[in-house]
Amino acid sequence: MHKRRVLLGAAVALPVAAWLARPAEVGGPHAPYFATLSQALKAAGVAQASMVIDLPRLRANLAAIGTHAKTGMGLRAVLKSLPCLELMDEVAKAWASPRVMAFNAAQTGQLLQARPDRQVLLGKPFPVTAAAALLRDLPPEIGGGIEWLIDTPERLAQYRQLAEQRSQVLRVNLEIDVGLHRGGFEDPIELGEALQSLKTGPLKWQGFMGYDAHVAALPDALGMRAQAWDESQKRVQTAWRLANELLGPQRRESLTLNTAGSPTFRLHDGKGVANEVSVGSAALLPLDFEKPLLADLQPAAFIATPVLKTWPRFRLPEGATWLSRLAQTWDRNQTRGLAIHGGHWLAEVASPEGVTPSGLYGPSSNQQVMVASGRVDLQPDDHVFLRPRQSEAVLLQFGDLLVFDGQRISARWPVLPASA
């Protein structure tokens, strides 16, 4: 009898517990910021998915980042993360710096043809055929200013041959593996031989680049982050010592000793070997860059897309409609359905709260089906706002960037042509 009562109690308790464990109902109208932005978009006649840049927030972020230059570290803007000439102009003005890091030949050429005063360091090694094509398209005085990133002895030999064929001095910057293990010189003997070979010939050594993104990605637990940081600094110091031994005494201020990125630039205080840091995404603070070291920065880029259709009840296609009813019984946040203009971006919904892509319906780049609770009262032509997870690829997907001054859409900035 006792056992029967226990089983009966469990039979009642489990469904009740499951019911109480249902997701809480969430949702509501746009926050005031997004309500104002939505009104600005409607006033500007914007009726398609667009990328919005909040200019006051961007400038505040640039000013906050710019204070890092007081440590003695120069700032280099990352073109792939900010692929728009007007956006790069804002950065150059705020940081009083012409330094740029570029990551593909097409964007490098587009930038230098439009802004020949920019000082370009490549952020990854180019195949020598890409370098040759870029140099053919640029005047020698501009192409000669590019710092080409070299990661292996074999690539160094290829660039030496290219320089000889062109009878042109090429500047090279050696990539150092500081612990990320994504390429670059790691063996001190191999690095020493590369430096030794640069004493003569048509290649001019311009410095080192060591990317340390792994440091910010590692947890503090068990001293993992501290160990990675110490090792990265040790490797850079070894490279610097070799350069001074093999090429003679070097002056830091005359070289490009680059490191960091948006997640780690604030770890560098000017007391090490490096004399500059690269920063791009932090200026817009996409979602993947929500880090403790960047806590003072604000999101400054949002996807705005119109609602095309709404339904009072979300339903899956015939044959699976029963599953949508079951889902709504469990999760009230799947009550309503709506379709937006476009979708399937590398982004997360920022407003209104409670709107999410339907995992049951599946993704669509044409009309993404979203679900929401009954608390969300979106209608056709209203907006859904999403926050990009990154900036470099996503900013190129919407045409001109729409510049929001806090009250209205005040400008449109063309992005660079899409390139890989």
Average pLDDT of each block of 10 consecutive residues along the chain (420 residues)? 51 49 82 98 98 99 95 96 98 98 98 98 98 97 98 98 98 98 97 97 98 91 91 97 97 96 93 97 97 96 98 82 73 87 98 92 93 91 98 95 98 93
Helices 85-95/55-66 angle, 10° precision = 40
CB 174 within 8 A of CB 215: no
Q: Is 193 exposed, middle or buried (0-12, 13-18, 19+ CB in 10 A)?
A: middle
From first CA to last CA, the distance across the chain in angstroms is 72
The pLDDT value recorded for residue 332 is 84
Nearest of 169, 177, 162 to residue 127 by alpha carbon: 162
> Which class for 26: exposed (0-12), middle (13-18), buried (19 or more C-beta within 10 A)?
middle
- Residues 119 and 117: their CA atoms lie apart, in Å, by 6
Domains of the chain, residue spans: 25-50+299-413, 56-282
pLDDT of residue 400: 98
Is there a contact between 134 and 105 (Cβ–Cβ < 8 Å)?
yes
Going by C-alpha positions, the residue among 285, 183, 280, 193 that lies closest to residue 239 is: 193
- Dihedral pair phi/psi, residue 160, rounded to 5°: -65, -45
Give the C-alpha separation, 243 to 1, whole Å.
85
Topology at the third CATH level for domain 56-282: TIM Barrel (3.20.20)
Distance (Å) of CA 357 to CA 158, 197, 314, 369? 48, 56, 12, 6
Which helix (H) or strand (E) segment holds residue 89: the answer is helix 85-95
pLDDT of residue 360: 83
Ramachandran region of residue 167, left (φ > 0), alpha (ψ -120 to 50) or beta?
A: left
Which residues touch 414 (CB under 8 Å, ≥6 apart)? 84, 85, 86, 399, 400, 401
Q: Give the sign of the dihedral formed by CA 103, CA 104, CA 107, CA 113.
A: positive
Q: What is the CATH number of domain 25-50+299-413?
A: 2.40.37
> What three-state secondary structure class fits 221?
helix
Distance of CA 224 to the CA centre of its chain: 24
- Position 17 scores a pLDDT of 47
In angstroms, the CA 54 to CA 237 distance is 40
User: How far is the C-alpha of 70 from the C-alpha of 74, rounded, in Å?
Assistant: 9
- The predicted pLDDT at position 194 comes to 98
Please tell me the predicted confidence (pLDDT) of residue 334.
82
